[in-house]
Structure 1
């Protein structure tokens, strides 16, 4: 794990010790570590990998309340001069349902943070007054660790069961295939 260049860069950038037991809060360069990934499944996977790393190797960061997750929007809905950011399909449906049946509006789905204009990125994920941050606890990281271990582990039955349960929730019409 520690031979990985990205992990080494992360440890160096944050001012972490090489091993979890080397943790010294005063050595941290940043006391608020915000994980910000795309709002899609790939972003969730990256977020889970990072949370699992911090949980397994730098757990004190959770104990000290240093780990946060930034929540980027998945959609932007524009109607006239008003814009609404939606964080999931339920938010989108709720906003659209407030419009009159014949209303004209535009929906933009963000494929990733890199697709956003700088002003949108600032407004939705960087501006301390408007962004949505969630401080994570050890329990959150423990759950991510279980999910990661289960999905990447050797137990095929668990993955098969998870896929079968999730398959019933898929709306084929929403797939981009």
Structure 2
């Protein structure tokens, strides 16, 4: 929606992936290829898939940006996509073609001015700088909460956006966490939750 309206059509293409993509942890390759979202993604990349058919030289884009909501569902989709690339298109990560968009977590209004903060620490620094009197703070959960102009300004404009280039280490970590959280083994998942529960700041159920 707003992403398609916000983009610069001369150099930006948007591929909408609706809902959660297939759980690549549990799916065989033949099942993956029957999943419409995965097939759409592979077709858009142009690389093919599988040990014999994948060819990174045929990729249509050298900057593939994963752009998801800043909430738990968005993080889940981002992890799914990183895991997919790590397992089935690792060379695209190795070549530095995969990026992760960094949409703001907060919008802050004070008078007629708008500010954006990308995490809690940045929000605190912003409020210290501009003061807390007369401010309105909005915590974004979805990209759709921003209008096209805001989305362009904060997340899609090459001059101002923040991008993180995905590394093999990022993808490996996503793969490992995904195996724990989405795999068949219950004990490692329970241990992970127990060890990390104390770090939760915003619980989204």
State yes or no: 1:117 paired with 2:147. yes
Structure 2: state its 5+ residue gaps.
1-31
Give the TM-score normalised by structure 2: 0.77
Q: What whole-Å deviation, never above 9, does each CA across 1:25-69 have from its counterpart, x for those lacking one?
A: 332111111000001111111000000001001111111111000
State yes or no: 1:138 paired with 2:172. no
Where does 1:63-78 land on structure 2 (aligned, <5 Å)? 63-78=94-109
Residue 38 of structure 1 contacts residue 44 of structure 1 at CA under 8 Å; is this kept in 2?
Answer: yes
**Distance in structure 2 (CA, Å) of the matches to 1:20 and 1:84:** 47
Instruction: Give the number of aligned pairs.
Output: 174
**Distance in structure 1 (CA, Å) of the matches to 2:182 and 2:191:** 14
State yes or no: 1:15 paired with 2:15. no
**Distance in structure 1 (CA, Å) of the matches to 2:128 and 2:51:** 49
**Distance in structure 2 (CA, Å) of the matches to 1:20 and 1:89:** 42
Structure 1 equivalent of residue 37 of structure 2: 6
**Distance in structure 2 (CA, Å) of the matches to 1:176 and 1:44:** 12
Residue 72 of structure 2 contacts residue 204 of structure 2 at CA under 8 Å; is this kept in 1?
Answer: no
CA separation of 1:90 and 1:122: change in aligned 2, threshold 3 A: same
CA separation of 1:109 and 1:94: change in aligned 2, threshold 3 A: same
CA separation of 1:143 and 1:169: change in aligned 2, threshold 3 A: closer
Structure 1 equivalent of residue 157 of structure 2: 127
Q: What whole-Å deviation, never above 9, does each CA across 1:87-110 have from its counterpart, x for those lacking one?
A: 122222222233446x11111121
**Distance in structure 2 (CA, Å) of the matches to 1:139 and 1:32:** 18
Of 151, 154, 172 in structure 1, the residue corresponding to residue 184 of structure 2 is 154
**Distance in structure 1 (CA, Å) of the matches to 2:89 and 2:153:** 31
**Distance in structure 1 (CA, Å) of the matches to 2:142 and 2:122:** 18
Structure 1 equivalent of residue 88 of structure 2: 57
CA separation of 1:4 and 1:176: change in aligned 2, threshold 3 A: closer
Q: What whole-Å deviation, never above 9, does each CA across 1:100-140 have from its counterpart, x for those lacking one?
A: 46x11111121200111010010011100001111111111
Q: How far apart are 1:156 and its partner, in Å?
A: 1.8
**Distance in structure 1 (CA, Å) of the matches to 2:35 and 2:55:** 22
Which 10-residue stretch deviates more, 60-69 or 152-161?
152-161
Give the TM-score normalised by structure 1: 0.89
Residue 20 of structure 1 contacts residue 59 of structure 1 at CA under 8 Å; is this kept in 2?
Answer: no
